[in-house]
Copies of this chain bind each other. A is one copy, B any other.
Amino acid sequence: MKLSLENLAVAFSDPQGGLLPALGPVSLAVGEDEFVCLIGPSGCGKTTLIRVLAGLQAPTSGIALCDGVPIARPMRGFAIMFQEANLMPWRTVLDNIALPLEVAGVPAANRYKTVRALLPLLQLENFDQAYPAELSGGMAQRVALGRVMVQEPQVWLLDEPFGALDALTREKLSLELLQLRSRTTQIIIMVTHNISEAVLLADRVIVLSPRPGRLVADVRVDLPRPRFPEMIYERDFLRLAKRIRASIDEISG
């Protein structure tokens, strides 16, 4: 599977009744097996970009393609993790994670088995019967991550998936993500504000300008795989991180 954006731009009607350019135009091609991290200032259109790829937002101009087919609605094999947890308050943790399976028609016994196998990884073992209102912010985020994992998607669209997590949990889950990915070919597009995290995880780090977000830097991360947290002290790592930081500093003039 390959994704490509061609002069993609999104504008919203702004409070004054005019048009607010929110994103782009952006052109970008993402290959078969790439892990792409998106970095950019708040409000630059990262979420908007992710939503276009998820088929939830129609572009104002330009186009998003998946294997040459325009993305006009949610596509098979894509899964999105929203910036907010967006859990259903009337469903338990178990049922929230199992939701995609239920929609796909998986019988109850099977889907609960699948989800329960996932809980230790998400560190939610004893909370399968808890309701979202009984969770901490980070726990809710992990449930949302579980809801994506359970779909075993080919394209992961992750909007700040670890934003509410502490450093340790964050590392653990991102390494888990790398492992999952090493087993099958998957595209991952992930928004993050953490440069180290981006360099540690990604094959490419894309830096966007302030609103409307345009492509400012497209940094290829050529560190060897598998990667480990200890790498952040290595020279190459620091060089890449600094380069990215530099391009961020640049755009904000």
> Which B residues lie within 8 Å of A127 (CB)?
15
> Cβ of A167 < 8 Å from any Cβ of B?
yes
> Cβ of A176 < 8 Å from any Cβ of B?
no
B164 and A83 form a contact (CB under 8 A): yes
Name the prevailing secondary structure of the A interface residues: loop
Q: Determine which residue in A41, A43, A166, A245 has the highest number of CB atoms from chain B within 10 A of its CB, and name it.
A: A166
A47 and B15 form a contact (CB under 8 A): no
> A147 CA to B12 CA in the complex, in Å?
25
Q: Nearest chain B CB to A21's CB is how many angstroms away?
A: 12
A166 and B15 form a contact (CB under 8 A): no
Q: A15-B134, A84-B137, A137-B160 are in contact. Are A41 and B129 (CB under 8 A)?
A: no
> Cβ of A116 < 8 Å from any Cβ of B?
no
> A203 CA to B145 CA in the complex, in Å?
35
> Cβ of A109 < 8 Å from any Cβ of B?
no
Contact string, A165-193, partner B, CB cutoff 8 A, digits 1/0?
11111100000000000000000000001
> A9 CA to B78 CA in the complex, in Å?
43
Q: A15-B127, A130-B15, A142-B42 are in contact. Are A166 and B137 (CB under 8 A)?
A: no
- Identify A168's interface contact among B41, B43, B129, B166, CB under 8 A: B41
- Name A252's closest neighbour in chain B (CB-CB): B168
Within 8 A of B (CB), among A235-253: 245, 248-249, 252
Q: A15-B134, A47-B136, A139-B43 are in contact. Are A163 and B166 (CB under 8 A)?
A: no
Q: Determine which residue in A127, A134, A168 has the highest number of CB atoms from chain B within 10 A of its CB, and name it.
A: A168
Within 8 A of B (CB), among A104-149: 123, 126-131, 134-139, 142
Q: Nearest chain B CB to A43's CB is how many angstroms away?
A: 4
Given contacts A166-B193, A166-B248, 8 further A-B contacts (CB under 8 A): A12-B134, A15-B130, A41-B166, A41-B169, A42-B137, A43-B123, A43-B135, A163-B163
